[in-house]
A and B are shown apart, each in its own frame.
Chain A
Amino acid sequence: METDKTEIAFTTAGLTKVYGEGSATVHALRGVDLQIPQGELVVLLGASGSGKSTLLNILGGLDQPSSGQVSFFEQNLSRMNDADLTLYRRDHIGFVFQFYNLMPSLTARENVELVTEIAENSLSPEEALALVGLSERMDHFPAQLSGGEQQRVAIARAVAKQPRVLFCDEPTGALDSTSGRQVMEVLQQVNRELATTVVIITHAATIAGMADRVIHFADGQIRKIDLNDQKTLAQNLVW
């Protein structure tokens, strides 16, 4: 690890998020202090409802914290308005969701174009799809692809604009083990080859084996952070 030289991509301080009011109040985050260095592959591990998705949404500019600070390099995300957040997402962030969230009426290639269309320095859709091993199926609609293939299209879509950070929310949650392993391989490859910071949310502890850094989450708080010296290759993950 070269943590000494590495820049810090994300810094949070006292981050909280409260949903709802009165008796229906939910404290999704209860004061999170965290640093994520640039270029790492980070796994956020925790049970359902532990607040890890909320943290990811805030880091990704999809949601605003109730209080606390969050910054991306020099930019203070917690002070950004809606338009600034839009630009932030457009320029720096890629997302991969559990249910792929492809546009059903667009082909694989067109789903990727949806992002390259508005990004400045993007890979071509073909390059991006080649990266995830789907060159042969570019003109298929989501309904014609398997779950694993759909998720790889989603990854191609996310990485095509060469984001600095890739956020993946339960990327293998809806997949069988073989497809899941393929998806993790692609993510590891992206992290290595494009030097993209990859943040993966999961509740599957085995995935932690491939991370530089594993953040354990529970009840809206960080319980502990493990640094991994012996990273496993994704293809060797035991499901």
Chain B
Amino acid sequence: MRMLTGLSPLDRKLLRDLWRMKGQALAIALVIALGVLMLVMMNGLVRSLEDTRTAYYERHRLAQVFAPLQRAPQSLLARVAVLEGVTAVAGRVTGSALINIHGQPLPLSAQAVSLPDRGEARLNDIYLTSGRRPDPSHEDEIILLQDFAKAHGLKSGDPLSATMHGARRTFRIVGLAQAPEFLYSAAPGEFVPDDARFAVIWMSQSALAAVYDMNGAFNQLLLGTSAGSSLPAILDRVDTLLEPYGGLGAYGLADHVSNRFIEEEISGLRVSSRTVPPVFLAVAAFLLNIVISRMIQSEREQIGLLKAFGYRDIEITLHYLKFIFVIAVGGALIGCLLGVISGRSLAQVYQSYYKFPFLLFQVDPMTFLIGVLVSILAAAAGGMVVLQSVFRLTPAVAMQPPAPADYSRSAALASFLKRFLDQPGRMVARRLLRQPGRAAGGVIGIAAGMSLAVAMLNVMSAFDRTLELSFSLIDRSDLSVSFVESLSDKVLYELQSIDGVIEVEPVRTVAVLFSNGQHSYRGAITGLPPAVRLNRALDVRQQTIPMRSEGVVLGTALADILQVKPGDMLSLDVREGRQPQLQVPVTGVADTLIGSPAYMALGSLNRVLREPNRVSGAYLRIDSAKQDTIYRQIKALPAIAGVSLKQEAREAFQTLIDTSAGAVRYLMAAIAGVITFGIVYNSARIAFAERARDLASLRVIGFTRGETAFVLLAELGIITLLALPLGGLFGYFLVFAISEGFSTDLYRVSAVFVPQSYGIAALAVIIAALLSGWLVKRDIDRIDLVSALKVRE
């Protein structure tokens, strides 16, 4: 007769065994869960960001092609519309502006953008979050970028003072908005967005045209293109068409600044999601393999008994596979669930950082499948190997406890051991020497966990190095000023004459299309003065790279993108002034970790532009005691496009790496820690389970609790200590893979050797070992001497 549950006795044994081993089963399941969590979370995050971005772009009709120009009549739009592959056309007015906010020492940069007088924009429409669109009959009505408004406590109905086209005007905010083209919007000359320091002002086309003398004209062309049309062909035709109107070079969405940064962030995550989770999952799988195999080893006598009753190998195998499946699938499901939860909350961090108005969270079902399959395979492989070895034994042998291990091989060591170790010490030493394979498994397992921790800590320190190199060594200024257009270098004297300004260093930044064969990049060249001091190009030894009169020095990232090395030739397509096209040699590669800069001698740059003695900005070192008066005087200067304080830029960058991708890193570091602990704890538990009878025997023959615990814990301690250097070594190699995964075109994470991360990781392993040791010690103290010796399971 069956019990009501209808389960076979073996299945009931399975359930009760699981319940008995629930602590350990849970620990194993959690390690699997963390590996799967990482996989599901990262893939879900990448996929969600991609889908959300695509949906946001489509809903607000983001243009495929952008073409800035000096000025063209509206009538030109009809000629553009008939170009092959063009599905939508819009011409709009844009211009730079400075916003004066009461209480702010420096003016804040803004971009003014026109909206059609009536209806929604055909391309690059806004997402109105509150208020309404401006009424073209009221020229002072504007819509303000929502996050800037939030940062300064501005709302609909408030006035706003801004300088446009050299004149100061007062506007009235009638609405707040976000837009897909300003997902990632940094002030001119800066890399990292800061809500408080960059604004977008939308005005009706007629009102903004009036401000910039653009009546009946536009200075930015937007195009929608049909799928499958050739982008380079369209860009060519648009450039030809716009040439008489001061076209500055059309470019596709891929080169649009905001989109490019988003794309780089997502592709960085995509690379991380392909490199990091597999490493975590592999470590979890390895651990699972070890744990399951040792667990089944300890069931050897029961397996022998089942065989004695006449159970077939396949029936016994299925029984243990079920056991493995419950743990592995359970762990994988927990991992999927946690992965969705943490992926979703991480995606929300991204959503708020990049200001997506909504978030589509998507998980690839394939990821679930991979996570579950890898877990099952790893667990089953561990179980199978042991089952096969048990099946090779006759039931008579399997049912007996394993014969005492032959320690005679270590007999040669006896006299040596005797001299230095007491009896428990000798037991520990002999056990380690007798079963080097098992000890090595433990060592490698712990080392693998530690390597994850080392790598993650190292990567976090590498971010600090990125900040340090960029904001302390490369840029030694206190603030930088950029002008609306290039000015005569006489402006430097004006800056120099301000009381409290210690040092002024000119700079000229020019938009350039770099190309080397099929590799190209839309960026800028920075012209540096001869005796550069404040903003420098540094080599890997952190020495200033001197600018030669010929040639460019490229940042590491740019040299990678363009696939060039010193001595190679590079084409430069300058997108300013007379737009010269140049062939120049690459004279050096600068060690840069943020952005993709390129440097030239300022004199040479001006020479090729045939604009001698021009500057577009300056780096300043100032006396901080006088900064308020300095700011006030800079604010009063004409033609200022923006002022950026290095401290603020540094903080903005810190925010970037702490929030978006940073959140991923912290989570990964935490998971690495948990996995490490899981490995150490499982090792201790298994060692205890295997030796409970031996330990009870020791207690029976008169060993104290402390002496008994020593036999087990010393072994654990030695394995842990052996794992430390190995974990450091594994970690050293893992750092390369992981830091590569975290580097984007926006910033690079260098695989540097950071001694602290090794120390901290080692400390974490030691703490985990102590904690595990303490937990196991409690169990050793509680061993029931009589039953441990009597019961043969």
Residues of chain A having any CB pair with chain B under 8 Å: 57, 60, 62-64, 82-83, 86-91, 93, 95, 97, 99, 101, 103-106, 109-111, 113-115, 117-119, 124-126, 143
Contacts and interface: CB of A to CB of B under 8 A. Distances in A.
A104 B309 contact: no
Contacts of A125: 1
A143 B793 CA distance: 11
B394 A89 contact: no
Interface of B: 1-3, 8-10, 12-13, 16-17, 20, 301-302, 305-313, 315, 394-397, 399, 791-793
A52 B312 CA distance: 26
A105 B16 contact: yes
B17 A83 contact: no
A104 B310 CA distance: 19
Given A104-B793, A126-B1, A118 B16 contact: no
A111 B306 CA distance: 11
For B13, B396, B792, B793, the residue with the greatest tally of chain A CB atoms inside 10 Å of its CB is B396
Nearest to B305: A101
A129 to B, nearest CB: 12
Nearest to A95: B308
A90 B1 contact: no
20 contacts: A57-B396, A62-B307, A62-B399, A63-B394, A63-B396, A86-B311, A86-B312, A86-B313, A88-B310, A97-B399, A99-B792, A101-B399, A103-B302, A104-B793, A105-B16, A109-B3, A110-B12, A114-B309, A117-B8, A118-B315
A90 B310 contact: yes
Contacts of A60: 308
A89 B310 contact: yes
Contacts of A115: 309
Contacts of A110: 3, 9, 12-13
Contacts of B315: 118
A109 to B, nearest CB: 8
A126 B397 CA distance: 31
B9 A114 contact: yes
Contacts of A104: 791, 793
Contact of B311 (A106, A113, A118, A126): A118
A22 B566 CA distance: 71
Given A62-B308, A105-B12, 18 more contacts: A62-B307, A62-B395, A62-B399, A63-B394, A63-B395, A63-B396, A63-B397, A101-B792, A103-B302, A104-B791, A105-B13, A106-B9, A110-B12, A111-B9, A117-B10, A118-B309, A119-B310, A125-B1
B394 A114 contact: no
A93 B395 CA distance: 14
A62 B1 contact: no
A113 B9 contact: yes
Contacts of A57: 394, 396
A117 B1 CA distance: 10
For B17, B301, B308, the residue with the greatest tally of chain A CB atoms inside 10 Å of its CB is B308
A127 to B, nearest CB: 10
Contacts of A106: 9, 12-13, 16
Q: Interface SS of chain B: helix, strand, loop or mixed?
A: helix
B449 to A, nearest CB: 31
A160 to B, nearest CB: 11
B312 A83 contact: yes
A119 B395 CA distance: 18
Contacts of A114: 9-10, 13, 306, 309
B696 to A, nearest CB: 16
A24 to B, nearest CB: 9
A233 B706 CA distance: 53
A62 to B, nearest CB: 4
A195 to B, nearest CB: 21
Contacts, number: 83
A109 B10 CA distance: 12
A117 B9 contact: yes
B13 A103 contact: yes
Nearest to B312: A86
A64 B12 CA distance: 32
Nearest to A141: B16
Report, nearest first, the 6 A-B pairs whose CB atoms are least far apart.
A90-B310, A105-B16, A62-B396, A57-B396, A89-B310, A113-B9
Contacts of A93: 310
A110 B13 CA distance: 9
A89 B396 contact: no
A64 B394 contact: yes
B394 A105 contact: no
Nearest to B18: A105
A125 B1 CA distance: 7
B127 to A, nearest CB: 61
For B20, B310, B395, the residue with the greatest tally of chain A CB atoms inside 10 Å of its CB is B310
A118 B307 CA distance: 12
A125 B8 CA distance: 13
B301 A118 contact: no
B399 A118 contact: no
A105 B310 contact: no
B12 A89 contact: no
Contacts of A143: 791
A114 B16 CA distance: 14
A93 to B, nearest CB: 8
Contacts of B16: 105-106
B313 to A, nearest CB: 8
For B1, B307, B395, B399, the residue with the greatest tally of chain A CB atoms inside 10 Å of its CB is B395
A64 B306 CA distance: 18
A89 B308 contact: yes
B299 to A, nearest CB: 10
B302 to A, nearest CB: 6
Nearest to A104: B793
A82 B308 CA distance: 11
A114 B313 CA distance: 15
A104 B19 CA distance: 13
Nearest to B394: A63
Contacts of A88: 310
Contact of B1 (A64, A105, A111, A124): A124
A87 B310 contact: yes
Given A105-B13, A105-B17, A105-B20, A90 B309 contact: yes
B301 to A, nearest CB: 7
Contacts of B9: 103, 106, 110-111, 113-114, 117
A64 B13 CA distance: 30
Nearest to B791: A104
A104 B793 CA distance: 7
A86 B397 CA distance: 15
Nearest to A100: B792
Contacts of B792: 99, 101
A143 B787 CA distance: 10
For B8, B16, B301, B309, the residue with the greatest tally of chain A CB atoms inside 10 Å of its CB is B309
A99 B793 CA distance: 9
A56 to B, nearest CB: 9
A84 B592 CA distance: 73
Contact of A86 (B10, B12, B307): B307
A86 B1 contact: no
A186 to B, nearest CB: 19
B120 to A, nearest CB: 70
A101 B301 contact: yes
Given A104-B791, A105-B20, A113-B9, A62 B311 contact: no
Nearest to A142: B791
B309 A89 contact: yes
Contacts of B395: 62-63, 89
Nearest to B310: A90
A207 B791 CA distance: 25
A78 to B, nearest CB: 13
Contacts of A109: 3
Nearest to A119: B310
Contacts of A82: 313
B791 A62 contact: no
A239 B607 CA distance: 117
Contact of B310 (A64, A111, A113, A118): A118
A135 to B, nearest CB: 13
